C-alpha cells in the first residue's frame, strides 16, 4: 500500500505530520512525501523544511493521498500541474484525504463537488464557493473522501483512516503508542469554545474573510 503525502511551499507542518505519524505505522504501507520537485519544501512561516522524496510524476497510483493545507494553499488553487495530479491519482485511490485548507485544493480540482467536506473553520465558506457542501465537523467522510478540520485535526483523521485501512484494534494500538490522550491546557480549540474576541480577531486576520475565494 502506498500513502502519498503532498507537499507545497507554504504548507502547515502539523497538517502533514499529524496524519503521517499515524499512517506510517500501517503494516506494509510505504509512506512517501511528494511534491512538484524533490528536495526540501518549506512550510509557512519558512522555518521548517520537509524533504519531498518523489516528484508528482513518480507517484502515479497511490492507494491513499493526503493533502495538507496552510497559507501556501492559496498559491496552488490554479496550479494545473498539482490539480491535474490530484485528479489523476484520485481516479484510482482507495482514499482521498485532506487536512485543513487542503480540502480547498481537492475542491479546486473538482473532486468535492456536491460532497460533504470540512476544512479549517475559517475556510468553510470558501469550500462552499468551490462547490462542496461544508460541514463544521472535525472529520468528515463522504464515500472515499475523508476531510479533516484545521491543523491538529489531521491526527484524528489519521486514526479514523487507520481504523478503516486495518481495523479498530490496530487504530487503538497506534493511539496508545503515540499516547494520543489529549489534555489541552485551555479549551479554546474551536470558534464555539474560544472567547468571542479571539474568534473575531482570527476572522479579521484571515485571508478568507478579506478575499472571498472567487
Active site amino acids: 100
Are 65 and 85 within 8 A, CB to CB? no
Q: Report the largest interatomic distance among the alpha carbons of the chain, rounded to a whole angstrom.
A: 47
Does residue 71 bind a second copy (CB under 8 A)?
A: no
Q: 98-127 mask for a second copy (x: CB under 8 A)?
A: --x-------------------xx------
Phi and psi at residue 182, in whole multiples of 5°? -60, 140
Q: How far apart are CA 135 and CA 137, in angstroms?
A: 6
153 to 192, contacts with a second copy by CB under 8 A?
153, 155-156, 159-160, 163, 168-169, 171-173, 175-186, 188-191
Cell for 213?
A: 475565494
For the bound state, the minimum distance from the C-beta of residue 175 to a second copy, rounded and expressed in Å, comes to 5
- Cis link prior to 45 (omega < 30° from 0)? yes
CA distances in angstroms from 16 to 11, 140, 205, listed in the order given: 8, 17, 23
Does residue 94 bind a second copy (CB under 8 A)?
A: no
Nearer to a second copy, 113 or 190 (CB): 190
Write out the residues near a second copy by the rule CB under 8 A.
Answer: 12-14, 17-18, 20-21, 24, 30-33, 40, 45, 47-51, 53, 100, 120-121, 138-139, 149-153, 155-156, 159-160, 163, 168-169, 171-173, 175-186, 188-191, 193-195, 198-199, 201-202
Amino acid at each position: 500500500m502506498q500513502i502519498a503525502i503532498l507537499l507545497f511551499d507554504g504548507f502547515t507542518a502539523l497538517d502533514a505530520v499529524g496524519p503521517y505519524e499515524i499512517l506510517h505505522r500501517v503494516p506494509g504501507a510505504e509512506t512517501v512525501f511528494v511534491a512538484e520537485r524533490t528536495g526540501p519544501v518549506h512550510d509557512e512561516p519558512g522555518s521548517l523544511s520537509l524533504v519531498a522524496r518523489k516528484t508528482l510524476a513518480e507517484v502515479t497510483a497511490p492507494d491513499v493521498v493526503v493533502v495538507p493545507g496552510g497559507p501556501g494553499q492559496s498559491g496552488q488553487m490554479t496550479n494545473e500541474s498539482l490539480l491535474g495530479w490530484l485528479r489523476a491519482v484520485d481516479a484510482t485511490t482507495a482514499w482521498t484525504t485532506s487536512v485543513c485548507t487542503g480540502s480547498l485544493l481537492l475542491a479546486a480540482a473538482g473532486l468535492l463537488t456536491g460532497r460533504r467536506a470540512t476544512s479549517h473553520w475559517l475556510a468553510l465558506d470558501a469550500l462552499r464557493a468551490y462547490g462542496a457542501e461544508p460541514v463544521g465537523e472535525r472529520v468528515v467522510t463522504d464515500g472515499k473522501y475523508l476531510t479533516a478540520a484545521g491543523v491538529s485535526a489531521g491526527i484524528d483523521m489519521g486514526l479514523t483512516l487507520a481504523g478503516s485501512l486495518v481495523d479498530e484494534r490496530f487504530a487503538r494500538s497506534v493511539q496508545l503508542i503515540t499516547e494520543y490522550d489529549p489534555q489541552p491546557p485551555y479549551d479554546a480549540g474551536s470558534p464555539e469554545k474560544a472567547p468571542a474576541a479571539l474568534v473575531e480577531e482570527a476572522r479579521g486576520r484571515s485571508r478568507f474573510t478579506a478575499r472571498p475565494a472567487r
